[in-house]
Amino acid sequence: MLKKVLIANRGEIARRVIRACRALGLQTVAVYSEADCYALHVEEADEAYLIGPPPPRESYLCSDKIIEIALKSECQAVHPGYGFLSENADFSQAVEEAKLVFVGPQAESIRLLGDKVAARRLAQSLGVPTVPGTLEKISDLSEALRTAQQIGYPVLIKAAAGGGGKGMRVVQNAEELPSLLERAISEAQSAFGDPAVFIEKFIPQAKHIEVQILADGHGNVVHLHERECSVQRRHQKLIEESPAPLLSEVERTRLCEAAVKLARAARYRSAGTVEFLYDFDAKRFYFLEVNTRVQVEHPVTEMRTGIDIVQEQLHIAAGERLSFAQTDVRPRGHAIELRICAEDPLNNFYPSLGQIVELQLPQGEGIRMDHALRRGEWVTPYYDPLIAKLIVWCEDRPHAMTRALTALDDLFILGVRTTGGFHYRALQNEIFRSGAYFTDFIERERERLFSSVAEPKISALSLAAILREVHGLSMENREQKMSFAVTVDGRMSEYALKLSNPLVIVRRAGEEFPARLSAKPGSKLYSLSLGEELLKLAMKREGDHWVVLWRGQELAIKVERAVAKRYRALLRSTTASLEPTVQEVASHMPGLILKVSVGEGQRVEPGESLFVLEAMKMENEIKSSVKGVIEKLCVKSRDQVEKGQLLCTIRAEE
């Protein structure tokens, strides 16, 4: 009998496991790093123990410490969540050897299926098609070059020991392979403690479809149908939905049967996911890999089937049989999951760090938020940028998309940039709505997905910033009639206001219309009324401008009294041509310098790599934006840097 479970993870998945344990009457034990001492999962668990400093290698990846705490706190089981140690066969084995139950597959299953190369061999032996590629791990550069030449470019380098887009690089030609192979190996070692990689053919126009399975220790294996996960950046999923649109029932059946066949052959136990690439034109599936853990996107399947996958994991770990048969699984409706990541989509999804100064989460029928957020929380560079998941369900796909858009209208995370605005645009995109989208969706639709906010909305949001500025003025500094100059993205506009409580009459471009800004008490959330239109937004002051958040996208809006408008414009026009001759390159976030790619005196071109910075479990390239010569290097490899720290200077060419 299980009575107490240690959760070897953090964030929203730790909270998710806590909820499942509570529903089954189980006590929970949390572990936490120094960066997470005030985290929600620590607060919600029955017991919590400090495990080490913020870096995962010194805390959440310390398997010996985790097992020691589990024994000390008299737990019977360890749930690894996803990521970290969840697919580590040695950890699974060590847990079992300590007379504890690992809530997941047995070590031999993880070794067989968690090792992508071994899983490919198993799939081939069962007659399940695999993407052309190696059946052995790549040992050196010469072998990689030879293999890529045989397969034919483009190829995909993949980490053998894990997933989530870590240790994965697309290689277009032989010239790119040496540096990208080095990066993939480094990232695989950092993320999974195993540098092994393999190579397979890259299929750009394909759908990424996966099947959720559950298997007990008594020979029962069921599938919970499929999910589509084709909307990705850096080979990491952003949107998942179930069922996969445009698949025929025959194709769904073939896909699910192949997943069950693989699980049976591997004598699998617990929750798992079998992933496939689907060549939509050829109507052909290719096996990709098996994720031997509960996945980030498991709520999509839960919303559609009504089955609590984490509770089933705990039942299976306790030695129980599955409580239902395949014929009992009756999915209904349509579910969509949107991953809310602390990233700036308009800056190539670059990680965004900072403090959450305002937070509002959507709620209501058919809406679920999995998160570990609260106002005042800090998003740090140590962990994955995924900070929340918005999951919606409705009776069909069109209504599910409408419900998701409505929920995004009510989602406000102010303080860090997020993928919320990207999701709003993606759900309105015609290609996505048709269902005929592929893994290259973001690249194909880049212009539409990342275009700026439409001009009418910029005007409305600018007006919100003006009204907030007026509200901040003391009564003696207010006039009945006031003029303001507003600058957004380098463009200046002028607005004339006539104060008339509680409304403000606004004049712009010869038109007059009433406006009112209402604040939610004790928050940075506002409602802007413009005639019959109502906009919900959030605002905060940052330096000399207002940051306005609307539908997940931020705008920096500078508001000034308009008396000196012409002089300011003249000043800008006369100084705009005076480009600096020396460019300072600073770090956008805290992190670890993994590689310095240049030396003092070296000539660089725009787009050339200068540094590789590790942050949020990903490697980020810092590139030159100018043509010139490296004048001074300020850091070296393995240096820990802070946000804003100077990395180098470049003397730009005239």
Same domain, 196 and 215: no
Segment (H or E) for 424 = helix 420-428
Collapsed DSSP state (helix, strand, coil) of residue 252: helix
**Picking from 155-164, 350-359, 462-471, which range would have the lowest pLDDT averaged per residue?**
155-164
Residue type, 254: R
Same domain, 511 and 600: no
Give the end-to-end CA distance of the chain in Å, rounded to a whole number: 74
Give, to the nearest 10 degrees, the angle between helix 11-23 and helix 309-317: 70
- In this structure, what are the phi and psi dihedrals at residue 539, rounded to the nearest 5 degrees? -145, 145
More confident residue, 421 or 166: 421
CATH of the domain at 589: 2.40.50.100
pLDDT of residue 276: 96
Segment (H or E) for 108 = helix 107-109
Domain end point (choices 449, 482, 504): 449
With contact defined as beta carbons under 8 Å apart, do 8 and 342 qualify? no
The tokens for 17 are 């496991």
Residue with tokens 């306005």: 548
With contact defined as beta carbons under 8 Å apart, do 21 and 45 qualify? no
Which tens digit of pLDDT belongs to each residue from 296-343? Answer: 999 999 999 999 999 999 999 999 999 899 999 999 999 999 999 999
DSSP strand pairing (197-201 vs 378-379): unpaired
- In this structure, what are the phi and psi dihedrals at residue 228, rounded to the nearest 5 degrees? -105, 135
Check if 455 is active-site.
no
Compute the distance between CA of residue 250 and CA of residue 506 in angstroms, rounded to an integer. Answer: 60
More confident residue, 493 or 413: 413
Strand partners, 273: 212, 291
Same domain, 426 and 480: no
pLDDT band at 194 (very low <50, low <70, confident <90, very high): confident
With contact defined as beta carbons under 8 Å apart, do 184 and 176 qualify? no
pLDDT band at 200 (very low <50, low <70, confident <90, very high): confident
Compute the distance between CA of residue 404 and CA of residue 433 in angstroms, rounded to an integer. Answer: 13
Q: Whole-number mean pLDDT of the chain?
A: 91
Collapsed DSSP state (helix, strand, coil) of residue 230: strand
Contacts of 104 (CB under 8 A, 6+ apart): 79, 80, 86, 92, 110, 270, 271, 292, 293, 313, 317
Q: What share of the chain is helix, strand, coil (3-state, %, to 5)?
A: 30, 35, 35
pLDDT band at 563 (very low <50, low <70, confident <90, very high): low
Contacts of 366 (CB under 8 A, 6+ apart): 303, 392, 393, 394, 400, 403
Domain end point (choices 394, 423, 449): 449
List the catalytic residue out of 12, 210, 241, 289: 289
Same domain, 334 and 435: yes
Residue type, 406: T
CATH of the domain at 226: 3.30.470.20
The total of other beta-carbon atoms located within 10 Å of residue 135's CB is: 11
Collapsed DSSP state (helix, strand, coil) of residue 604: strand
Q: Give the residue from 367, 371, 368 showing the smallest Cα distance to 359.
A: 371
Residue 123: inside a domain = no
Residue 395: inside a domain = yes
Same domain, 263 and 380: yes
More confident residue, 477 or 363: 363
pLDDT band at 1 (very low <50, low <70, confident <90, very high): confident
Separation in Å, CA 500 to CA 243, 480, 486, 496, 517: 53, 8, 21, 13, 13
Residue 111: inside a domain = no
Same domain, 271 and 409: yes
pLDDT of residue 198: 84
> What residues make up the domain containing 164?
132-201
pLDDT of residue 99: 97
Q: Give the residue from 280, 218, 212 showing the smallest Cα distance to 251.
A: 280
More confident residue, 266 or 196: 266
With contact defined as beta carbons under 8 Å apart, do 379 and 402 qualify? no
Same domain, 478 and 546: yes
Residue 93: inside a domain = yes
Overall number of domains in the chain: 5
Give, to the nearest 10 degrees, the angle between helix 177-192 and helix 141-151: 110
User: Mean pLDDT across the stretch 598-617?
Assistant: 91
Separation in Å, CA 414 to CA 232, 381, 409, 537: 24, 18, 14, 10
The tokens for 316 are 């299976």
Q: Give the residue from 372, 324, 319 showing the smallest Cα distance to 77.
A: 319
pLDDT of residue 511: 79
- The yes-or-no verdict on residue 580 having pLDDT over 70 is no
CATH of the domain at 147: 3.30.1490.20
**Picking from 76-85, 186-195, 558-567, which range would have the lowest pLDDT averaged per residue?**
558-567
Which tens digit of pLDDT belongs to each residue from 484-509? Answer: 999 998 888 888 988 877 778 888 77
Residue 634: inside a domain = yes
Tell me how long the chain is.
654
pLDDT band at 164 (very low <50, low <70, confident <90, very high): low
Residue 118: inside a domain = no
pLDDT of residue 654: 62
Collapsed DSSP state (helix, strand, coil) of residue 606: coil
**Picking from 352-356, 359-363, 370-374, 530-534, which range would have the lowest pLDDT averaged per residue?**
530-534
Contacts of 77 (CB under 8 A, 6+ apart): 2, 4, 5, 6, 100, 101, 102, 103, 314, 317
Same domain, 273 and 414: yes
- The yes-or-no verdict on residue 559 having pLDDT over 60 is yes
pLDDT of residue 490: 82
Q: Which residues of 609-618 are buried (b: 16+ CB within 10 A; e: fewer)?
A: bbbbbbbbbb
Return the DSSP state at 323. Answer: S
Same domain, 214 and 304: yes
Domain end point (choices 201, 227, 251): 201
With contact defined as beta carbons under 8 Å apart, do 449 and 524 qualify? no
- In this structure, what are the phi and psi dihedrals at residue 431, rounded to the nearest 5 degrees? -65, -45
Same domain, 223 and 371: yes
pLDDT band at 573 (very low <50, low <70, confident <90, very high): low
Residue 113: inside a domain = no
With contact defined as beta carbons under 8 Å apart, do 335 and 300 qualify? yes
Compute the distance between CA of residue 417 and CA of residue 354 in angstroms, rounded to an integer. Answer: 9
Same domain, 196 and 51: no
Same domain, 171 and 220: no
Which tens digit of pLDDT belongs to each residue from 129-152? Answer: 998 887 778 878 888 898 898 888
Residue 11: inside a domain = yes
